[in-house]
Amino acid sequence: MRLPRIMLAAPASGSGKTLVTCGILKALVNRGYRVASFKCGPDYIDPMFHSRVIGTHSGNLDTFFTGRETIRYLFGREAEKAEISVAEGVMGYYDGLGGISTEASSADVAKALDMPVVLVVNCRGLSLSVIPLIQGFVEYEHPRRIRGVILNQMSPAVYPDLKELIEMRLPVRVLGYVPRLPELSWESRHLGLVMPEEIRDLKEKLGKLAKVLEKSLDLDAFMAMAYEAPALEYTVPNLPGPCRKEGVPIAFARDEAFCFTYRDNLRLLKDMGARFLEFSPLRDKELPKGSRGLILSGGYPELYAEKLGENKSMREAVRRAVEGGLPCIAECGGFLYLHRSLEGEDGRSYPMAGVIDAHAYPTGKLSRFGYVMLKSMEDQMLLGKGGRIRGHEFHYWESEDCGESMRAEKPLRQRNWGCVHGTPTLYAGFPHLFFYSNPQAAKNFLECCEGAPCLH
């Protein structure tokens, strides 16, 4: 298939990838293109910004979570609906597993998808020195995939001369520059950027950014580079069959506090027969009637701990349902919500659902950050004993009782630890799971839900 595609990567985090990516996406949408967008790696927040621009959900591309055939499928099934697909890289272009490998890096994704790359270089404090920096990135991999460069935070007065020097000395095309735009900058929080809905006048800012980039970037050359990508073949993976035709009703938490869920997990569950009944633990008083299962996604419960605590009706409904055997997946923020109590960002403790008899509290630093390979230590809802699935941890809060039903192993590192409260009807723990790394786990969850009584 001819699937025009291109990646925006950078030498390091903080180079402005997300800002530039969103500006380009907005400019392409303004031109009338059907655009698909993706984020390399396990990030949740950047795809939310993409989605605000293109009006549909953005996906993740991660070569740790899945093999190359599966990542081609996950990319291809969305890319074939669009006229161009834009992927945003993660961290530095070559930064992968354990900080010592290119596996699961942006470069690894570009290789798996045979995708041309444009390097976004933050030029603040640089002029001629940007040339050897770009040269090192271009020449580090073979075959070379970095075809273009965008100079971020670049002086318009210096740009023409620097563009000429770069193109004279290096085998890349300079596609333009982004001037310093302090009025369009976005704030950050401990998990990355703040949520899109927290940015005042985001729509207007994106519109202004797109207008700037229409003038300062050669978007026609950017499009042409994407259309130079070779044909890409992919096959549909052999997945477990669907459950009953009428759909298995699953209560699915979605609000400001519970908003981190991989799009591909939801789509896989839907393909297998799930029917999601959305609700808000912040605002609703009870779980959706008719539910046979429950998903409590990750997110920011610590920011809304007081409001969650005040919603006693919902807390008690969740406790009764989970303790009564309603199949439940609770990841990271959802796991915190199941605790007896949670210390909020304001330093005060608030009552939560009380399924896990433990307190959750902030540590002030990242805990067990990064990819994990999980091994089941006992038969439980998602996996039988010895079963494996891949996931990712990224949290500043800790629990007095993380569980011992699974063993987490760090890839390329001699480090492992116990985690997860797992029972025949429960998965509750910090790791965010990616179901395409073991689709049978998703099937096992739905089959458990099928056998559960409906909530009344």
Where in the sequence numbering do the catalytic residues fall?
Answer: 332
Q: Three-state secondary structure along 207-251? A: HHHHHHHHHHECHHHHHHHHHCCCCCCCCCCCCCCCCCCCCEEEE
CA distance 155 to 162: 10
Residues 311 and 303 sit within 8 Å (Cβ to Cβ): no
What token pair was written down for 109?
A: 């994704």
CA distance 384 to 248: 22
3-state helix, strand, coil in the chain (%, to 5): 35, 30, 40
Containing 439, the helix (H) or strand (E) segment is helix 439-450
CA distance 331 to 42: 14
Angle at 370 between CA 369 and CA 375, to 5 degrees: 105
DSSP letter string over 28-71?
Answer: HHHTT--EEEEEESS-SHHHHHHHHHHSS--EEE-TTTS-HHHH
Three-state SS for 427? strand
Q: State the burial class of residue 252 (Cβ atoms within 10 Å of its Cβ: 0-12, 13-18, 19+).
A: buried
